[in-house]
Amino acid sequence: MIRLDNISKQNGSQIVFIEASAGLLKGEKAGLVGPNGAGKTTLFRMIDGQELPDEGQVSVDRGVSIGYFSQDVGEMSGHSAVTEVMNGCGPVSEVAAELKALEAAMADPDRMDEMDEIIERYGEVQGRFEELDGYALEGRAREVLDGLSFSQEMMDGDVGKLSGGWKMRVALARILLMRPDVMLLDEPSNHLDLESLIWLEAFLKGYDGALMMTSHDREFMNRIVTKIVEIDAGGLTTYSGDYEFYESQRAQNEKQQQAQFERQQAMLSKEIKFIERFMARASHAAQVQSRVKKLDKIERVEPPKRRQTVQFDFPPAPRSGDDIVALKDVNKAYGARIIYEGLDFSIHRRERWCVMGVNGAGKSTLLKLVTGSTDPDAGTVSMGSTVKLGYFAQHAMELLDGDRTVFESLEDSFPQAGQGSLRALAGCFGFSGDDVEKKCRVLSGGEKARLVMAKMLYDPPNFLVLDEPTNHLDIATKEMLIAALANYEGTMLFVSHDRHFLAALSNRVLEVTPDGIHQYGGGYTEYVARTGQEAPGLRS
């Protein structure tokens, strides 16, 4: 269906691809992986025809339709979410728009004198809408939006009033409703809650077209893709299997290549020593000349390209007492909407609670109550006297001083720390080289999140409260964070939609439902085994 033959591409001074080749066959589901800036989005844009390679060819079979979801969703306003989703489906969306306009005209008393013509035209347009299966399309559009956690009110409201994250879901729904022959999905798992993520997973597994996608969610990728296309140093390498298989295969290939490199280096060293020892002796001239010629002909084995991996070791946190926080008979409401009524919940040392619940259930509110960011309407929240709190919330990123660089921001927080120590800290969180000189105002959402986290973890608290800490983090940074938190000896309370993160770090589950809270001993894996569901909103 799609072939990339010996493509080369340069963006400014950056060489993105050098004679790279790969393909996507009918029905295949491929994961596209590579470090940030490797060229994943450029590859999607070339397949979609928005960019051309400098050399080589991108071939798409005749008649193949492509749907491309990118993080740049463009302007959306003036329509309902349902209409915006249907607008991606060609002629039927234009007919639907005219039908809506005619319905408005029929209800307009100022146009009574045109009513006969309007009704006649309405009949014609309605017939065309039925021919195009328009009514079924609207039903399918609502089904997709429902899967992505839209309420009926949000479906019918002005899409322009939605937040950026919800607009992303509208743009994704548009591609899913299209059901093209090929879907190119650039980070479709961003901005999704766990219920939506699991619904999307099932949708894509049942999709019979070809799929190429990027995702920072390894569990999501593992369950969908059957092959991996890796971008590395300008080349494309294809691995059969899921992400887990790719990781193990890549590690094995690196090990074999390293062993071949070391064997060859040992052999070369032996030959060079012989040449150096006997080159001045006439009696060995023929042997020396023979060995020199042999060395010239040997094809050199390159050492494996080392993917830069970062580790972050927690300095030890001060030990807390056994009682971390206690909520007693807590009530909390926003207007008429009651979030908690008579809530009793306590956390003890070394517990790692993950909070589960559908959108709007009160997960973030619970974290705000615990951290004192919001006050209960009634009841008490008591923190232990030796507790040192660290709270990561999305709004913390807005508090960074835009005029300070990344390095200056770290220096402001830790004036006593040495430059080498702070540079190492920045490197662990993905700020290497000139990145530390970037002003905070130009950082992406993911970069801001990493900087806030670096500041919080360098001088570690003994009680960590984390609200969606993995949003926008790539797989390598998530792995670093999981490894660091696995060795952390303090207490944790967190919300995350990343199942790998949940399973690796939780030892308690607090499920927030309309019926109240339910507590489960054991972590997320045990919770799934006991309830038979990966998220509370999926229960039948």
Instruction: State the pLDDT at residue 310.
Output: 63
CA gap 267, 115 in Å, rounded: 93
474-481: Cβ within 8 A, 24+ apart: 474/35, 474/36, 474/216, 474/446, 475/33, 475/216, 475/218, 476/35, 476/307, 476/309, 476/310, 477/310, 477/429, 477/430, 477/450, 478/216, 478/218, 480/309, 480/310, 480/311, 480/312, 480/428, 481/312, 481/453
The yes-or-no verdict on residue 78 having pLDDT over 90 is no
Collect all residues with Cβ–Cβ distance below 8 Å to 465 and sequence separation of at least 6: 367, 370, 371, 389, 390, 391, 392, 492, 493, 494
Q: Report the range of poorest mean pLDDT among 3-17, 27-41, 307-321, 328-342.
A: 307-321
* pLDDT higher than 80, residue 90: no
In sequence order, what E strands does 109-202 have? 182-186
Q: How many residues does the chain have?
A: 540
Q: What residues have CB less than 8 Å from 7, skipping those under 6 apart?
A: 17, 19, 20, 21, 46, 53, 55, 56, 57, 58
Q: Are strands 463-467 and 389-392 parallel, antiparallel or unpaired?
A: parallel
Closest Cα to residue 431, out of 401, 403, 451? 451
Residue 102 has pLDDT above 80, yes or no: yes
Task: Report how far Cα 208 is from the mean position of its chain's Cα atoms.
Answer: 24
Question: Is pLDDT above 90 for 133?
Answer: no
What lies within 8 Å, CB to CB, of 224 at 6+ separation is 29, 31, 201, 204, 205, 211, 213
Dihedral angle over CA of 163, 169, 172, 173, nearest 10? -120
Q: Percent of the chain scored above 70 by pLDDT?
A: 98
Query: Measured between alpha carbons, how far is 494 from 200 in angstroms, rounded to an integer?
Result: 23
Dihedral sign computed on CA atoms, order 46, 51, 56, 62: positive
pLDDT tens digits along 471-501: 878 888 888 889 989 989 999 999 999 999 9
- Angstrom distance (rounded) from CA 447 to CA 472: 8
d(CA 130, CA 360): 37
Structural tokens at position 302:
């390159």
Cβ-contact 186, 213 below 8 angstroms: yes
Backbone angles phi, psi at 259, to 5 degrees: -65, -45
Burial code (b: 16+ CB inside 10 Å, e: under 16) for 417-451 equals: eeeeebbebbbbbbbeeebbebebeebeebbbbbb
> Would you say residue 92 has pLDDT above 80?
no
CA–CA distance, 24 with 60 (Å, rounded to integer): 10
CA separation for the pair 105, 107 (Å, rounded): 5
**Token digits of residue 171:** 């743009």
Average pLDDT, the chain: 90
Summarize pLDDT for 32-62 with one digit per residue, the tens: 998 877 899 999 999 999 999 999 999 999 9
Question: Averaged over 528-540, what is the pLDDT?
Answer: 83
**pLDDT(307) > 70:** no
The two structure tokens encoding residue 233: 């140093």
For position 472, what pLDDT does the model report? 76
Three-state SS at 14? strand
User: In this predicted model, what pLDDT tens digit does every residue of 171-186 receive, in sequence order?
Assistant: 999 999 988 899 999 9
Which residue has better confidence, 135 or 182? 182
> What DSSP character marks residue 459?
S
Show the CA angle centred on residue 36, arms to residues 453 and 193, nearest 5°: 60
Please give the residue that has the higher pLDDT: either 208 or 95.
208
Instruction: Tell me the C-alpha to C-alpha distance, in Å, between residue 142 and each of 73, 88, 147.
Output: 20, 14, 9
Give me the mean pLDDT over the 506-514 stretch.
Answer: 94
What whole-number distance in Å separates Cα of residue 33 and Cα of residue 52? 21
74: left (phi over 0), alpha (psi -120 to 50) or beta: left
370 within 8 A of 381, measured Cβ to Cβ = yes
- Stated as kind and residue range, the H or E segment containing 199 is helix 194-206
Mean pLDDT across the stretch 197-209? 96
- What is the rounded CA–CA span in Å between residue 333 and residue 325? 21
Residue 283 has pLDDT above 60, yes or no: yes
pLDDT, greater one: 45 or 316 = 45
DSSP 52: -
HEC-encoded secondary structure of 421-456: HHHHHHHHCCCCHHHHHCEHHHCCHHHHHHHHHHHH
3-class SS at 381? strand
Given strand 337-348, what is the order of strands in its sheet? Answer: 337-348, 323-334, 378-383
Instruction: Report which of 28, 55, 56, 31 is spatially closest to residue 44, judged by C-alpha positions.
Output: 31
